[in-house]
C-alpha cells in the first residue's frame, strides 16, 4: 500500500471520482444494482478501488461513498483483498462470479 498524504488530499481525490487517467478494468455491482465497486489502474502502475452508490435523489448517477480511491496498491490482488475487507456486500457477488476475481487479480 502506498499512501497519498493528508485527509484533505484524499477528499480532493474523491471529489474527482475516478481520475480520467485511471483505467477501470472491472466494475462489480451489488445484486440490488444500487452499489458498485470499480477496480482501476493508474499510469504510475499502482492500483485502487472505489465504492459508489446510485440513488433516485442523485438522478441515478453513481456517487462515491468512501475515500478508498485515495490509497494506492502495488498489485491488483492487494486492492481486491482490501476491498473485500472494507465492503461487506462485495463478497457474495464475487463468490457468485469467480471470473471477476480472476480478472481483478490480473489487473
Q: What is the mean pLDDT of each run of 10 residues along the chain (107 residues)?
A: 47 59 95 94 96 84 89 96 96 93 85
Domain boundaries, given as residue ranges, for the chain: 7-97
What count of residues does the chain have?
107
Distance of CA 95 to the CA centre of its chain: 17
* pLDDT of res. 1: 54
The answer to pTM > 0.75 is: yes
Amino acid at each position: 500500500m502506498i499512501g497519498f498524504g493528508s485527509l484533505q488530499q484524499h477528499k480532493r481525490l474523491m471529489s474527482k471520482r475516478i481520475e480520467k487517467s485511471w483505467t477501470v478494468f472491472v466494475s462489480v455491482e451489488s445484486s440490488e444494482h444500487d452499489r458498485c465497486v470499480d477496480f482501476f489502474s493508474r499510469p504510475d502502475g499502482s492500483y485502487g478501488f472505489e465504492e459508489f452508490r446510485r440513488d433516485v435523489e442523485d438522478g441515478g448517477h453513481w456517487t462515491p461513498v468512501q475515500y478508498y480511491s485515495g490509497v494506492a496498491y502495488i498489485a491488483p490482488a492487494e486492492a481486491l483483498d482490501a476491498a473485500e475487507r472494507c465492503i461487506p456486500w462485495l463478497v457474495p457477488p464475487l463468490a457468485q462470479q469467480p471470473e471477476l476475481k480472476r480478472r481483478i487479480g490480473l489487473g
